[in-house]
Amino acid sequence: MTDNINPSHYKDGPFECIELSRLLSSDWGQAVQYCFRWQHKNGVEDLKKALWFVNDALVHGIPIYAVSDWADLASALFHTLAREDWAGLKSVWDAFTVWHRGDIPGLLKDKINEIEKEGK
């Protein structure tokens, strides 16, 4: 039976997406959710939505963490995603891990261009 409330594309990773997204502020959490699921839901459209949320967060100076005490746990989860190259986004997860959030828009654009070039 299909679970439309908590579908498998949020649960199929090395951990459930919400374990990470609940630690983040809204824009960053949305971006992570779109990146986490892009291969299993809306494809490149989800990466474009993630890019929109990342740009919005950067333009408005939105802090990444909902609570600063959660930084270590979130960093460990980002590291896990990078190590497993979850959703083929190793470089994006790495940018979160090493505090290079300003690199994320370019990395997402590169991935979007790569996918569109391949016609996926």
Domain ranges for the chain, please list them.
15-118
Average pLDDT over residues 86-92: 96
DSSP characters for 24-76?
A: B-HHHHHHHHHHHHGGGTTTHHHHHHHHHHHHHHHHTT--SBSSGGGHHHHHH
User: φ and ψ at 100, to 5 degrees?
Assistant: -110, 55
Residue type at 48 in one-letter notation: K
What is the model's pLDDT at position 48? 98
What confidence category does residue 24 fall into, taking pLDDT thresholds of 50, 70 and 90?
very high
Helices (H) and strands (E) in the chain, counts: 6, 0
pLDDT at residue 93 is higher than 60: yes
pLDDT at residue 7 is higher than 50: no
Alpha carbon distance 9, 39 (integer Å)? 8
> Which is higher by pLDDT, 50 or 14?
50
pLDDT tens digits, one per residue of 26-76: 999 999 999 999 999 999 999 999 999 999 999 999 999 999 899 999 999
pLDDT at residue 102 is higher than 70: yes
What confidence category does residue 100 fall into, taking pLDDT thresholds of 50, 70 and 90?
confident
Q: Are 88 and 39 in contact (CB under 8 A)?
A: yes
